[in-house]
Structure 1
Amino acid sequence: MKLNHLTHILITLIIAVSCEEKPKQKPIEKPMKKKTVVYQVFTRLFGNTNTTNKPWGTLEENGVGKFDDFTEKALQEIKDLGVTHIWYTGVPHHAVINDYTEYGISNDDPDVVKGRAGSPYAVKDYYNVNPDLALDPANRLEEFKALVQRTHEAGMKVIIDIVPNHVARNYEGLTNPEGVSDFGAHDDTSKEYNVNNNFYYIPGQAFQVPEWQNGYVPLGGEQHALSNGKFEENPAKWTGNGSRLVRPNFNDWYETVKVNYGIRPDGSKDFEELPEEFEDKDYRVHFDFWKNKTLPDSWNKFRDITNYWLDFGVDGFRFDMAEMVPVEFWSYLNSSIKMKNPDAFLLAEVYNPSLYRDYIHKGKMDYLYDKVELYDSIKHIMKGYGWTDHIPMVQKGMADIEHHMLHFLENHDEQRIASPDFAGNANLAKPAMVVSATLSTSPTMIYFGQEVGEPGAEDAGFGKPTRTSIFDYIGVPHHQRWMNNKKFDGGQLKENEKLLRDFYKKLLNFTIKSDALMGDYQEIHFYNKDHTEGYDHRILSYVRWSEEEKLIVVANFGADKHYKLDLKIPESVIDNWKLNNEEYKLEEQLYGQVDRILSVNEGLGIVPIELAPLESRIFAVEE
């Protein structure tokens, strides 16, 4: 359903009002470093060259990528794309349906594993890595350590997942450091809750496997010795998403159990809360606050886990579903991490905007997903029914925390841009990507295959089309064409895919070198809507600047509309930039071949602009 003009005006006003009413906004911090670009890669899919793609296919049938596939050449190509950090998704050992008993690993039960390759968010052993990813499973930790070293030698930082809210139902640490016990090893299972229990229990009742729905059968109906509709767990534990049912629903996170952080079943806290003024304190003060305090056992378990991986050489973490874990724990954990590595990159999945500031200021998170505000707004615009008017409103509401809100257009949870259910055309991401990457000082993230238009079209088994499956063994066709049988040279890409990747490469490399993108921002969108003939809600414009660089950014989200207009640079910008009433040459940064002139007359700037459909311009002012 298309929204009419009046509806859009009302929505814009509502957003503006809500932005004005944001609580407890702190003064805006201006970071000094250059932009960060994160390349999220699903580790077991990256190097897989197998194109069989049989639904529910085994590792042998559909193939799997390895740590070793990230060769020096592959890593250099990722670095040259404009990447500073790689998030290797799915590294910690999670439940999988493969027989690794010869390595001392117990078999996993298909009744509590999603897919055949398993969810990376059902971690089975926090002190080891997924055996699927190793050439020699007995040597899997050493193979991952070598990958960390290769990544560092290529000039990039390493991020891995930590999933604090839940673990696999069959958690089993095989390589725990000395003195480290497994989750739940010392729990009093006769009680629903104890502050030092790692899990919550349903005493006197055994766990029951969910009732399968929508024609689902584990492993697609294949016979398996453990696939019998039963899983031994007595007493039953609470499920990962908080379900307290002995028999969780099929749509619950039934393959996981929820970790107890000292939150009683009634929601009250069994630990000391942070004083209100601690939102203004740095991580050192937070670290000192938790010293010598008696804390729930799960807090210390995750501190030990993150310390282990920091010592291993990992540079940061992406925390899954962080908002389901109390903010006080994050103060404790993140301050501990920062004391060990002040430059550690800490990214959290938080979707409730009312929690953003607490998790940043009290929880000491570096970055949160900007999904509910920016991503959702841009997605609506890309799909053709959103207005660019929403974006300046979102940015205004985020002004005090904009640096902490990581921008993305794809990740493993979201639909691929090129999938029919999202945009159906990877080129529709071009203006959106320009905006996502240049609107604020925040990091930018792309998901592997996004840069070549991967549509996620495979019916993998548990995972369905529109998202590249994280549960199954599968090949990623567009990405495989870029891999070109592990030459990593794009040799099999189609011409439009090569052009798309070249666009990403130019854009991302510009962002990590620009001073202005870590400086000031001002929208000029609404000024131009009021004063520029032909300017409408399919265009977005704003300026970014520092002492060294002044940028004018204009993006055309229209897939079928060409614009020719005189873009206005308001007097307030001209005054901030201290420009005289004269002409200034503009050098285009994305394509390097479209120069323009900024004419300043009586304090107002004018730039003649032509924009083809889905075209963007980033002009740098030459003084």
Structure 2
Amino acid sequence: MKNCLVLILVFMGWGCKHEQKRPEHMHQEKAEAKKEVVYQVFTRLFGNTSTNNKPWGTLEENGVGKFSDFTERALKEIKALGVTHIWYTGIPHHALVTDYNKYSISHDDPDVVKGRAGSPYAVKDYYNVNPDLAENPEKRLEEFKALIRRTHKAGLKLLIDIVPNHVARNYEGRFTPEGSEPFGASDDTSLEYKRDNNFYYIPDSVFKVPKWENGYLPLGGSNHLLVDGHFEEIPAKWTGNGSRLAQPHFNDWYETVKINYGVSPDGSYDFDVLPQDFGSKDHTAHFQFWKDKDVPDSWVKFKDIALYWLGMGVDGFRFDMAEMVPVEFWSYMNSHIKVKNPDAFLLAEVYNPQLYRDYIHKGKMDYLYDKVEMYDSLKHIMQGHGWTDHIPVVKKGTADIAHHLLHFLENHDEQRIASPDFAGDALKGKPAMVVSATMTTAPLMIYFGQEVGEPAQENAGFGSPTRTSIFDYIGVPHHQRWVNDKKFDGGQLSEDERVLRDFYKRLLNFTINSNALMGEYQDIHFYNKENSEGYDHRVLSYVRWSDSEKLIVVSNFEANDSRVFQLKLPSEIVQEWNLEEGGHEVVDVLYGSTHTLKVLDGIGKLDVSLDPLKSFIFRVE
């Protein structure tokens, strides 16, 4: 295919003052790399077609999705959306209330389970999978292995969660392989802390369940044999979020207990600390550093867990609350992962920007959530409060690690765009999606149902609407209309939902096939704000390019008004792109409209008329 110039025009309101062009940091060993797109699915909700949606409903009342719902057709349609990786959320066996006693699965106490279906981040056994997800719970691991095979056959890679900071308060680890022990099996419980204990203890104490607040009662107040306000744990353990109270607060992570990584209660370390220069060394050097070191027992247990799932065919992990675990542990575990599979995709939840570089360089993470700065800034703009001027400033501040900061607008922890507490309208996510997809070389992530405008209005039980429940059995209505009785063809979608999904499909497929999006970047927002009448702080623009593609991105974040102006391309970009004087035809790669870019006296000029919430991606032929 002939070389072409691509201009992506996105009207938004960020920009850095005359920022010089800068190459994005991409993997040097993968010169032909393309952008990656992660599709997060909450596995037990994806294929559930029940519309009952009774608050605190049982599995029998409200239904549950299964591994088998990810059919060849379903996976084919996910891939066709423009997806490269699927993150199956909620795979490891976590605590839940449904009775599986006939399958020799022990009961979980509702007094220390959130919701009826349970939190996927209160893992009960890392060597097996959630029985809810299996047609035959006795064969649940075999069914998951079959899902791995189907996912790979569809041309997708898959991720699952690992939650190193905490486990379920009733962790069993019944399926721990022979020769290894479950967490806590050999702990000295008479001590608050010992380096090779897996948990922290509160000696001479008895655990007490929290005092329920805000009218909350376990299971919504319904009768259950084990709902008695009591859970036996002697001595009490520290709670997952670090609470050292024998009776944690209702807002603590009371269903979990914190893992000990050799960090004493006073904060000192009982393990070797990485040398300062190790941030510049590759995973092989990190692996060699730890090879002869004596490390805390919890490190070894989680390393073995990760290698177990890699051996099964899992392609990577999303690490929950990674910043609550020492960076040295991540160096140890991630270097072991990368030695086994150098292409493993490692995504971590870190919310403190001051820690980003340590967890990337020393902790050997591939990607972190770009939540606190980029997501939060975009959300503010989508809600009508913020100016796009802030976005290039955020981008400039993380330019050295931009490739490692994954972009998203929704995930299981965040409010749905269409919920009233976020933007109240899924269309307000369109310009922000264009920016999230095209501004850096980093991967992009979307959450299932986002592409059809899921608003999360259901009262599922534990927690409140605006976020699709991760604690209860529930149906996801807009997404179910795309599932269409498991035809996975969108047959029940409204016209507006169909159009929105088509936008996502066009954008994501362009994203994963573009060369320029793995190339260089320069802001032109402030240049246009100063030189283009009609261009303001609700518009954003920037350029991206490679040898074969030249892109300008322009988006309008304004929900009620159009923006009409003449976009200016500064002389240094015109020279960089070798644009001759005169007219150049440009084509919007999203919807195919043609326009003319005129170069006059070394300045590019393009007449732009942007409807509310519209973006362009133009290619100069």
**TM-score, length basis structure 2:** 0.96
Q: Distance in 2 between matches of 1:428 and 1:94?
A: 35
Shift of residue 376, structure 1, vs aligned partner: 0.4
Matched residue SS, 1:446: strand
Q: Which residue is 2:325 aligned to?
A: 325
Q: Which residue is 2:235 aligned to?
A: 235
8 Å contact kept, 1:350–1:368: yes
* Counterpart among 25, 29, 39 of residue 29 in structure 1: 25
Q: Distance in 2 between matches of 1:265 and 1:498?
A: 54
Partner deviation per Cα, 1:173-226 (whole Å, 9 max, x = no partner): 121111110100000001000000000000110111001101110001111111
1:432-581 alignment, distance < 5 Å: 432-581=432-581
Matched residue SS, 2:608: strand
- The runs of 5 or more residues in structure 1 that have no matched partner are 1-10, 21-25
Shift of residue 417, structure 1, vs aligned partner: 0.4
Q: Which moved more, 1:600-609 or 1:164-173?
A: 600-609
8 Å contact kept, 2:24–2:520: no
8 Å contact kept, 2:117–2:473: yes
Q: Distance in 2 between matches of 1:617 and 1:60?
A: 47
8 Å contact kept, 1:43–1:90: yes
Q: Which residue is 1:359 aligned to?
A: 359
Counterpart amino acid of 1:544? R
Could you say if the C-alpha distance between residues 28 and 496 of structure 1 is closer, same or farther in structure 2, counting changes exceeding 3 Å?
closer
Shift of residue 582, structure 1, vs aligned partner: 2.6
Q: Distance in 2 between matches of 1:272 and 1:177?
A: 28
Q: Which residue is 1:100 aligned to?
A: 100
Q: Distance in 1 between matches of 2:361 and 2:576?
A: 30
Counterpart amino acid of 2:196? N
Q: Which residue is 2:585 aligned to?
A: 585
Q: Which residue is 2:8 aligned to?
A: none
Q: Which residue is 1:64 aligned to?
A: 64
Q: Distance in 2 between matches of 1:463 and 1:147?
A: 30
Shift of residue 354, structure 1, vs aligned partner: 0.2
Counterpart amino acid of 2:600? N
Could you say if the C-alpha distance between residues 560 and 211 of structure 1 is closer, same or farther in structure 2, counting changes exceeding 3 Å?
same
Query: Are 1:271 and 2:275 counterparts?
Result: no
Shift of residue 503, structure 1, vs aligned partner: 0.2
8 Å contact kept, 1:406–1:442: yes
Q: Which residue is 1:180 aligned to?
A: 180
Q: Distance in 1 between matches of 2:23 and 2:434?
A: 27
Partner deviation per Cα, 1:42-89 (whole Å, 9 max, x = no partner): 000000000000000000000000000000000000000000000000
Matched residue SS, 1:400: helix
Matched residue SS, 1:141: helix
8 Å contact kept, 1:463–1:470: no
Q: Which moved more, 1:68-77 or 1:173-182?
A: 173-182
Query: Are 1:151 and 2:151 counterparts?
Result: yes
Shift of residue 463, structure 1, vs aligned partner: 2.8
8 Å contact kept, 2:338–2:344: yes
Counterpart amino acid of 1:311? G
1:406-417 alignment, distance < 5 Å: 406-417=406-417
Q: Distance in 1 between matches of 2:303 and 2:470?
A: 27
Matched residue SS, 2:298: helix
Q: Which residue is 1:381 aligned to?
A: 381
Q: Distance in 2 between matches of 1:121 and 1:610?
A: 47
Q: Distance in 2 between matches of 1:27 and 1:586?
A: 24
Q: Which residue is 1:4 aligned to?
A: none
8 Å contact kept, 2:14–2:539: no
8 Å contact kept, 2:14–2:387: no
Q: Distance in 2 between matches of 1:603 and 1:147?
A: 56
Shift of residue 301, structure 1, vs aligned partner: 0.1
Q: Which residue is 1:7 aligned to?
A: none
Q: Distance in 2 between matches of 1:444 and 1:247?
A: 40
Q: Distance in 1 between matches of 2:173 and 2:355?
A: 33
Q: Which residue is 2:214 aligned to?
A: 214
Query: Are 1:83 and 2:90 counterparts?
Result: no
Could you say if the C-alpha distance between residues 277 and 79 of structure 1 is closer, same or farther in structure 2, counting changes exceeding 3 Å?
same
Q: Which residue is 1:285 aligned to?
A: 285
Counterpart amino acid of 2:566? D
Q: Distance in 1 between matches of 2:468 and 2:14?
A: 34
Shift of residue 103, structure 1, vs aligned partner: 1.7
Q: Which residue is 2:43 aligned to?
A: 43
Q: Distance in 2 between matches of 1:582 and 1:180?
A: 72
Q: Distance in 1 between matches of 2:463 and 2:307?
A: 33
Q: Which residue is 1:258 aligned to?
A: 258
Partner deviation per Cα, 1:318-374 (whole Å, 9 max, x = no partner): 000000000000000000000000000000000000000000000000000000011
Shift of residue 292, structure 1, vs aligned partner: 1.3
Q: Distance in 1 between matches of 2:620 and 2:24?
A: 26
Q: Which moved more, 1:223-232 or 1:572-581?
A: 572-581
Counterpart amino acid of 2:382? M
Partner deviation per Cα, 1:257-285 (whole Å, 9 max, x = no partner): 00000000000110010000000000000
Counterpart amino acid of 2:387? W
Partner deviation per Cα, 1:480-529 (whole Å, 9 max, x = no partner): 00000000000000000000000000000000000000000111000000
Partner deviation per Cα, 1:63-122 (whole Å, 9 max, x = no partner): 000000000000000000000000000000000001111222110000000000000000
Q: Distance in 2 between matches of 1:162 and 1:467?
A: 22
1:288-299 alignment, distance < 5 Å: 288-299=288-299
Matched residue SS, 2:530: helix
Query: Are 1:600 and 2:599 counterparts?
Result: yes
What is the Cα-based RMSD across aligned positions, in Å? 1.5
Matched residue SS, 1:125: strand
Shift of residue 576, structure 1, vs aligned partner: 1.6
Q: Which residue is 2:10 aligned to?
A: none
Q: Which residue is 2:7 aligned to?
A: none
Shift of residue 30, structure 1, vs aligned partner: 3.0
Counterpart amino acid of 1:546? S
Counterpart amino acid of 2:596? I
Counterpart amino acid of 2:616? R
Q: Which moved more, 1:98-107 or 1:122-131?
A: 98-107
Matched residue SS, 1:227: coil
Q: Distance in 2 between matches of 1:364 and 1:575?
A: 38
Could you say if the C-alpha distance between residues 27 and 208 of structure 1 is closer, same or farther in structure 2, counting changes exceeding 3 Å?
farther
Shift of residue 12, structure 1, vs aligned partner: 9.0
Counterpart amino acid of 1:261? Y
Matched residue SS, 1:512: helix
Q: Distance in 1 between matches of 2:225 and 2:49?
A: 30
Could you say if the C-alpha distance between residues 183 and 106 of structure 1 is closer, same or farther in structure 2, counting changes exceeding 3 Å?
same
Matched residue SS, 1:76: helix
Q: Distance in 1 between matches of 2:516 and 2:610?
A: 23
Shift of residue 28, structure 1, vs aligned partner: 5.9
Counterpart amino acid of 2:54? K
Matched residue SS, 1:372: helix
8 Å contact kept, 1:88–1:159: yes
Q: Distance in 1 between matches of 2:423 and 2:591?
A: 24
Shift of residue 621, structure 1, vs aligned partner: 2.1
Partner deviation per Cα, 1:1-59 (whole Å, 9 max, x = no partner): xxxxxxxxxx999x99xx99xxxxx9963333100000000000000000000000000
Q: Distance in 2 between matches of 1:254 and 1:278?
A: 37
8 Å contact kept, 1:27–1:400: no
Percent identity over the alignment is 71
Matched residue SS, 1:509: helix
Matched residue SS, 2:605: strand
Matched residue SS, 2:399: coil
Q: Which residue is 2:613 aligned to?
A: 614
Give the aligned length: 603
Q: Distance in 1 between matches of 2:68 and 2:281?
A: 43
8 Å contact kept, 1:416–1:466: yes
Matched residue SS, 1:401: helix
The structure 1 segments of at least 4 consecutive aligned residues displaced by more than 3 Å after TM superposition are: none
Matched residue SS, 2:459: coil
8 Å contact kept, 2:382–2:432: yes
Counterpart amino acid of 2:594? D
8 Å contact kept, 2:24–2:518: no
8 Å contact kept, 2:410–2:417: yes
Could you say if the C-alpha distance between residues 276 and 468 of structure 1 is closer, same or farther in structure 2, counting changes exceeding 3 Å?
same
Q: Distance in 1 between matches of 2:562 and 2:463?
A: 39
Q: Which moved more, 1:598-607 or 1:511-520?
A: 598-607
